[in-house]
Amino acid sequence: MKGSKVEIVQVLDKKFTPYINQEEIAELVTRVAKEVSRDLRNEKPIFLPVLNGSFMFASDLMKQLGFPAELSFIKFSSYQNTETTGTVKELIGFERSMKGRTVVVIEDIVDTGYTMQTLIQTLKEKEAKQVKVVTLFSKPEARKVEVPIDYLGMEIGNNFIVGYGLDYNGEGRNLPCIYELVKD
């Protein structure tokens, strides 16, 4: 953010205003990385960033752990079910066995909690020893189901954000800081 001038960014048809700058994000990531490293380095954890949103956070976080770790990306693939009108979401990308492992899920943001609930359930079915949840942001006001968050960057209000991995309809993931939607 240069001086006091607020630089509005246009992403597709919406305007976004700066919300969390790069320095602030870096502080959150460094603190979380220290906590995770302190607690889990002796567990030989496997880290599971949830694509696409967590790619930048996961990259910065993993670099700061300070020990060699195992990493495997997962993703919710949604596809139109031809037999029904609904959209089916499937978890893909499990390349390694989760059985008996300490699994550390890396998320960009926990909103309603449905994504994390599904993921934790899946990891239990895959017989993970324990599941730890790391998320950069959480929107407690938006929560529909309770999910455990073990490591949190910060709580935010119920506003739509983009940047640092988060998109608006496919755009804006590359923005280096966080912007929030300007309501019209």
| DSSP state at residue 183 | P
Q: Give residues 44-63 in contact with ligand 5GP (rule: CB under 6 A).
A: 53
Instruction: Name the binder of 175 from ligand 5GP, Mg ion, none, CB < 5-8 A by kind.
Output: none
Only segment of 11-19, 40-48, 106-114, 123-131 that touches ligand 5GP (CB under 6 A): 106-114
Please tell me the count of residues contacting Mg ion according to CB under 5 A. 3
For the chain, list the strands marked E by DSSP. Answer: 9-11, 14-20, 46-51, 70-71, 74-80, 87-92, 102-110, 130-138, 151-155, 161-162, 178-181
Q: Is 53 in the site for Mg ion (CB under 5 A)?
A: yes
Residue 62 and residue 40 in contact, taking contact as beta carbons nearer than 8 Å: no
Residue 178 and residue 109 in contact, taking contact as beta carbons nearer than 8 Å: no
Q: Is 110 in the site for ligand 5GP (CB under 6 A)?
A: yes
Q: Is 108 in the site for Mg ion (CB under 5 A)?
A: yes
Q: Give the span between the Cα atoms of 114 and 111, in whole angstroms.
A: 8
Instruction: Name the binder of 55 from ligand 5GP, Mg ion, none, CB < 5-8 A by kind.
Output: none
Tokens of 155: 């709580």
The nearer residue to ligand 5GP, 98 or 164, going by C-beta atoms, is: 164
Interface residue list for ligand 5GP (CB under 6 A) = 53, 107-116, 160-162, 166-168
